[in-house]
Amino acid sequence: MIKIEKIYKKWVVEILFKIKGQRFGEIKKEIPRITPKVLSLKLKELEKAKLIKKKINTSQFPIKCNYFLTKKGEDFIKIIKK
């Protein structure tokens, strides 16, 4: 179960609304006020809460990581939009 206090921390909801399969830098460009350190920390928290998934593509160089909403994350966004 997800604790509401964790979800409503600063930046978390905004990050969830921006994630559509982008890489770290692309998410950072969409939220210019957030620092790279805080974005990295929040992405790790969201991944741990299973709201997002990090996909790593090792078939190319450089290695690319993209972030996607999980089913749980999509359901959470639907609830917030209501």
User: What does the pLDDT average to over 54-72?
Assistant: 93
Q: Cα–Cα distances in Å, from 19 out to 59, 77, 79? A: 23, 11, 16
Percent of the chain with pLDDT over 90: 68
Q: What is the pLDDT of residues 18-47, one digit of tens each?
A: 999 999 999 999 999 999 999 999 999 999
User: What does the pLDDT average to over 52-58?
Assistant: 94
In the chain, the domains with their CATH numbers are: 4-81 (1.10.10.10)
- pLDDT of 1 > 50? The answer is no
Q: How far apart are CA 56 and CA 1, in angstroms?
A: 26
| Residue 47 · residue 53 · CB < 8 Å | yes
